[in-house]
Structure 1
Amino acid sequence: MSQTDRLRRLLEDELDDCCDADVTDRLAELESLVDAVPTASTSDLAALSTLGDETRHRLVRLLVAAESDLCVCEITPLVDVGDSAVSHALSDLTDAGLVSRRKEGTWRYYRATDRAERLLEALDATRGDRR
């Protein structure tokens, strides 16, 4: 059974008892609303879930605010976790496409990606809407 068929059946069950609405018109209206909502990609959802961890979330915010690339030794004193936890979190953020990494000799430098900035802006806007 398709999504439209399930929705039609639900509307018929619900609307028959409560009002005189035309199920076909209401279904078309609801389908247009669904079509207007952009679908998040799997990678967008993965990136969002990556920010669910407090350390990773703090690191992304720090990197977005930074004026230049930062190495782990510069980041660690700014958060309350050890070098290993910072490195692991940065690796997860890199895998999610929220942080980019460049290597210079034995040092690795990190910066937030545009995607991270857009995601944080969207989260901040959503948080602002609920207030």
Structure 2
Amino acid sequence: MSSTERLQRYLSDARDGCGDEAVAQRLAELEALDADAGGPALDEDVTVMSALANETRYKIVRILHLAGEELCVCEFAPFLDVSDSAISHALSQLTDAGLLTRRKEGKWRKYRITPRATALLIALDGSR
């Protein structure tokens, strides 16, 4: 059974019968929704959500949010039960996703949370 046939069967059940025109209209509405949902920001949004979908990376973002200031890469090690290279990799992924900014100060790298990451954490906190 094709998706159009399934939709026609659904519309017929839900709306006490309908013709091809109603199915075509509903398909057009659904295609518009699909286009809006898959707009230009889709890939970027998925990258951001994927970056947060790891305990180490999420904890780094949460620590920076709570700190309210930039932190040196070396300041994360006492709180994370992973290797230094894993911390560096996580920081790089978060920076690439636009959730952190990085600056170099001498031989040290310092990280700060971005407004976008802050907004995501606030949204998560507000949904609990």
Equivalent in 3, 6, 16 of residue 20 of structure 1 = 16
TM-score when normalising by structure 2 = 0.74
Instruction: Tell me the alpha carbon deviations over residues 34-74 of structure 1, each in whole angstroms, 9 at most, x when there is no partner.
Output: 38x76552111111011111100100111111121100111
- Once the two structures are TM-superposed, the CA of residue 117 in structure 1 deviates from its matched residue by 1.1
**What does residue range 11-90 of structure 1 map to in structure 2 within 5 Å?**
11-17=7-13, 19-20=15-16, 22=18, 24=22, 27=26, 31=30, 34=33, 40-90=41-91
RMSD: 3.0
Gaps of 5+ in 2: none
- Secondary structure of the structure 2 residue equivalent to 1:103: strand
Instruction: Identify the residue that residue 112 of structure 2 maps to in structure 1.
Output: 111
- Secondary structure of the structure 2 residue equivalent to 1:80: coil
**Which AA in structure 2 matches 1:112?**
I
Q: Alpha carbons of 1:21 and 1:13: their partners in 2 closer, same or farther (altered >3 Å)? A: closer
Q: Alpha carbons of 1:67 and 1:16: their partners in 2 closer, same or farther (altered >3 Å)? A: closer
**Which AA in structure 1 matches 2:26?**
L
Q: Name the CA distance, whole Å, in 1 between partners of 2:16 and 2:115.
A: 49
Instruction: Identify the residue that residue 101 of structure 1 maps to in structure 2.
Output: 102
Gaps of 5+ in 1: 1-5
The ranges of structure 1 where at least 4 consecutive aligned residues each deviate by more than 6 angstroms after the TM superposition are none
What count of residue pairs does the alignment treat as equivalent? 121
The alignment-based identity, stated in percent, is 46
**Which AA in structure 2 matches 1:16?**
S
CA contact (8 A) 1:99 1:113 kept: yes
- Once the two structures are TM-superposed, the CA of residue 19 in structure 1 deviates from its matched residue by 4.3
- Once the two structures are TM-superposed, the CA of residue 9 in structure 1 deviates from its matched residue by 4.4
